[in-house]
Amino acid sequence: MRNSPKVILAGGNGYIGGTTAFALKEAGFEPIILDNFSTSIRGALKGFEVIETDLTDLPQTQHAFKKIGQAAGVIHFAAKALVPESFKIPGHYYSNNLLSALNLAETSKSFGVPIFLHSSSCAVYGIPKQIPIPETSNLEASSPYGDTKIMAEVLLNRYHHMNCLRVVHLRYFNPAGAWPKYGWGEAHEPETHLIPNLVSAALQNRPVSLFGNQYPTPDGSCIRDFIHVIDLAEAHVKTLQAMLQGLNVPLRINVGRGVGSSVLEVIKTGEKVLEKKIQIKIEPAREGDPPQLVADSTLMKEVLNWMPSRDLSQMLHDDWTWRTSLVK
């Protein structure tokens, strides 16, 4: 990989960052990981250069970039990302998520790193007025976490418009699944996402929690647009390649399948894929959870000439395969 373009992955030791590291390596890049391991497991990601860095500390961030040298781009995954937690400790979310974005942008500018991909979120849309959601929708976050993503986008837009960086915000919908080939999957503590909780519940023969069953949807449960984490990683690779080729990539791109699945539909699909009956425990609705979040993925298809290919069954199967491998 001596002649491979280096790509800095800020927060690259996490679930999505690690998956993207493997996808970049397969595509001929050399990923360099920056992480402080606050929400990931130290030493979990093998085969990559990892530099322990607190991105809220500007001198530490600058030191890491100096050590790396010339890089083709930065992908910024490093952010606190639990919506319920963001209501409990909003100050921490604002300071962590905004400082890390600012320090990375300023350091990228100083070291001449031209491309900046920002892991944004469909949380910027809050409770959307239009489904599926286009990138032109108003930004009205319904959580402190969503606020921080909007603010980070505004901050990075200024660097983009001053021609300091070429920025693209990839607005994720709901990543799920695993990459069993690399022994890599979703391992958060606490785990708040549906599919890993569903698979874990099936493995442990316990109920899975359903947070709210009286939403204005056909079956009363929330509807989400789930995208396989490998497809999400490939979206980063495709975007980076397009930018390196000098293509005109828009500032904001939704990254989802454009397919909505309710929580109850996911559970039913899980029963088929895992061949297990899954019990449901009804819990109160969580603060900040919109009834529906489904991407309008038209722009992604037009710009990248690419669409996600892995369906909900594949996400459940891969998460199950990875999780069961851990207990053998």
Q: HSE on the CB side for 262, CA within 13 Å? A: 16
- Write out pLDDT tens, residues 11-70: 999 999 999 999 999 999 999 999 999 888 888 899 999 999 999 999 999 999 999 999
- Letter string b/e over residues 46-56, b meaning 16 or more CB atoms within 10 A of that residue's CB: eebebbebbbb
Task: Provide the token pair at 94.
Answer: 């604002």
Cα separation values, 107 from 64, 97, 112, 195, 288, Å: 10, 16, 8, 36, 33
- Write out pLDDT tens, residues 248-304: 999 999 999 999 999 999 999 999 999 999 999 999 999 989 999 999 999 999 999
Name the pLDDT band for 1 (thresholds 50, 70, 90). very low
CA distance 105 to 20: 20
Helix (H) or strand (E) holding 51: strand 49-52
> Please, what is the average pLDDT of the chain?
96
CATH numbers and ranges of domains, the chain: 6-176+226-255 (3.40.50.720), 180-224+257-296+310-326 (3.90.25.10)
Just list the catalytic residues. Answer: 145
pLDDT value at 2 more than 60: no
Closest CA to 101 of 127, 75, 132, 135: 75
- Is residue 230 classed as helix, strand or coil in its secondary structure? helix
pTM for the model stands at: 0.96
Q: How many CB atoms lie within 10 A of CB 22?
A: 19
